[in-house]
Amino acid sequence: MSQFAHRDGELLVNGWPLRRLAERVGRTPFYAYDRGLLRARAAELRAALPAAVKLHYAMKANPMPALVALMAQLVDGIDVASAGELQVALDAGADPREISFAGPGKREAELRQAVAAGVLVNVESARELRQLAGITQALGLPARVAVRVNPDFELKGSGMRMGGGAKPFGIDAEVVPALLRELRPEGLAFEGFHLFAGSQNLKAEAICEAQRLSYELALRLAEHAPAPVRSLNLGGGFGIPYFPGEQRLDIGPIADNLRALAERAARELPQAALVLELGRYLVGEAGIYVARVLERKVSRGQVFLVTDGGLHHHLSASGNFGQVLRKNYPVAIGTRMDAPATDSVSVVGPLCTPLDLLAERMALPEAGEGDLVVVFQSGAYGATASPQGFLGHPECVEVLV
C-alpha cells in the first residue's frame, strides 16, 4: 500500500535511509514528509484533471509551514479554516487572491484579518454577513465573499459528512436566495459559492454525483446572485486507502465528470472558475510517522513493542479520531523491510492508557530495542490533529525531506 521505496532492508524517505534520517532529525518520534511524493501526487492530479479546474490545498490536513510553502507552489490556491492558518498561508507566499477561508465560527477579529488580507471569505451564517458588512464600512474595503451552501443532499459513503441535513457548516440551500439579496446593499463583493459535502471518500461514483448535484444547485442559486459567479468551489472529499481491502480512488471517472461540468460551466456560468479543494488526498500518502522501539515485552504470550511514539502524536492511527471500529493503519519495521513477517505483535506507545495503540496483533518482522517503527498514510491529520499535551511527553518533530 505504501509509496515509499526501500533499500538494503531500510525504508527510504526521498532517498534518505531511515536510520540516517533519524540521526539527522536528532530524536524520535517524528513525522517525515517526502517532497518527491508530494510533487508526484500534485503532478498526477494535474495531468488527469481538466485544465479549467483549479486545484486548492486545504491546509487543515497538514499545516506544517514548510509543507504549505511547497504546496503553495504546486497548487492554484490554499484553503484555510482559521486566522492562524491564514497567517501560515500568507507567510508561505500564497497569493491572497487565491486563498479562501471557511469554517463555521469565524470570529469578528478573524473576519477583519481576512478582509484586510484580501482573501475570499466563505460566509457560513447571516451573523458573519452582518459583521463583514460592518468591516467593509470600517476598512473601506469590500469584503470578498462566497456563500458556503449546506446542500440538500449528502455525499454517500464518506468518512465524515459535512453537508446535507442539519449541519453547523454553511447556510441551508433554501435560505440562500434571501441572504443573497442582502449582499449588494451591504457593499459586499459577491464572488460565488462553496459546497463541501464530506471527506475521505473512496467511491468515484459518489464523488461524481455530489459534484453534479453541487453544480446544479449552484446554477439554480446563481439566478438569485447579485453578480456573476466567478468562483464555484465544488469541494473535494477524495479519500486515500488506509485499511486492508480498501481500493484506491479511481480518478479517471472524476476527471471525466469534471470535464463535462467544465464544458457546461463555460456556457452556463461563463465567468466561473471551478475549484476543487483537497487536503488528505494531496498529502496523506506522502507522510510517515516514525517511533523507536524502547522494548519488546511479552505478557502472557502476547508480544508488545513499546515505542516512544503514540496517540499523543498520532491520534488517528490509534483509532480515536472519528473511527467507529478500530483498524490497523499500515505499519512496518522501517529498519527491517526485507525480513519476513514472522512475529505477531501489538505496537503501543508510552502513555498510561490502553487507548495508546499503534497496531494491534499485526504480523511484522521480529524487532527489538532501537528498531524504527513506521506508520504509513500519516501525512494528513497527524501532528496537529493529536493531543500532544496529553500525559506530558515531548512533542513530536516534523521534517520535510
Ligand X SMILES: *Cc1c(COP(=O)(O)O)cnc(C)c1O
Query: Annotated active-site positions, please?
Result: 352
3-state secondary structure of 22: helix
CB of 302 to ligand X, least distance (A): 35
Judged by CB, which is closer to ligand X: 71, or 380? 380
C-alpha grid cell, residue 307: 515505542
Task: Establish if 4 lies at the interface with ligand X (CB under 6 A).
Answer: no
List the interface residues with ligand X, window 80-99 (CB under 6 A). 81
Query: Measured from the CB of residue 67, what is the shortest distance to ligand X in angstroms?
Result: 14
Strands 30-33 and 287-299, how do they pair?
A: antiparallel
d(CA 172, CA 164): 8
Which is it for the CA torsion 389, 33, 247, 245, positive or negative? negative
Residue 212 near residue 197, CB atoms below 8 Å: no
Q: Judge whether 188 and 136 are in contact, CB under 8 Å.
A: yes
Distance separating alpha carbons of residues 327 and 288, to the nearest angstrom:
17
**Residues within window 187-206 making contact with ligand X, judged by CB under 6 A:** 196, 199-200
State how far the Cα of 237 lies from the Cα of 158, in Å rounded to an integer.
8
Question: Per CB under 6 A, does 236 bind ligand X?
Answer: yes
CA–CA distance, 155 with 171 (Å, rounded to integer): 17
Site for ligand X in 253-292 (CB under 6 A): 277-281
Smallest gap, in angstroms, from Cβ of residue 307 to ligand X?
26
Give the one residue of 58, 188, 221, 240 binding ligand X; rule: CB under 6 A: 58
**Closer by beta carbon to ligand X, 63 or else 334:** 63
Tell the smallest beta-carbon distance from residue 60 to ligand X (Å).
Answer: 5
What binding mask, one character per residue, do residues 369-388 give for ligand X by CB under 6 A, x or -?
-----------x--------
Using rule CB under 6 A, residue 79 touches ligand X = yes
Q: What is the SS3 assignment for 199? A: strand
Structural contact between residues 115 and 139, judged by C-beta atoms closer than 8 angstroms? yes
Residue position matching grid coordinates 483537497: 278
Of the listed pieces 53-61, 207-215, 219-227, 325-333, which binds ligand X according to CB under 6 A? 53-61
**Shortest Å, Cβ 124 to ligand X:** 10
Shortest distance, CB of residue 321 to ligand X, whole angstroms?
12
CB closer to ligand X, 236 vs 330: 236
Does residue 242 touch ligand X according to CB under 6 A?
A: no
- Measured CA to CA, the distance from residue 251 to residue 322 in angstroms comes to 25
Q: Which residue is nearest to ligand X (CB)?
A: 279
Give the whole-angstrom CA distance, residue 15 versus residue 20: 11
Comparing CB distances to ligand X, the nearer of 206 and 306 is 206
How many residues in the shown chain lie near ligand X by CB under 6 A? 17
Q: Which is nearer to ligand X, 60 or 313 (CB)?
A: 60
* Nearer Cβ to ligand X (4/101): 101
Least distance between ligand X and beta carbon 194 (Å): 7
* Closest to 63 (Cα-Cα) out of 46, 75, 49, 78: 78
Binding mask 103-142 for ligand X (x = CB under 6 A): ----------------------------------------
Report how far residue 111's alpha carbon sits from residue 106's, in angstroms, rounded to the nearest whole number. Answer: 6
**Cβ distance to ligand X smaller for residue 81 or 262:** 81
Is residue 41 a contact point for ligand X (CB under 6 A)?
A: no
Quote the distance between the C-alpha of residue 142 and its chain's center.
30
Whole-angstrom distance, CA of residue 320 vs CA of residue 324: 8
| Spatial distance between the Cα atoms of 25 and 328, rounded to a whole number of angstroms | 26
Look-up: residue for cell 439566478?
223
User: Residue from 18, 22, 49, 61 that binds ligand X (CB under 6 A)?
Assistant: 61
Residues facing residue 399 across a β-bridge: 32
Site residues, ligand X (CB under 6 A): 58, 60-61, 79, 81, 102, 196, 199-200, 236-237, 277-281, 380
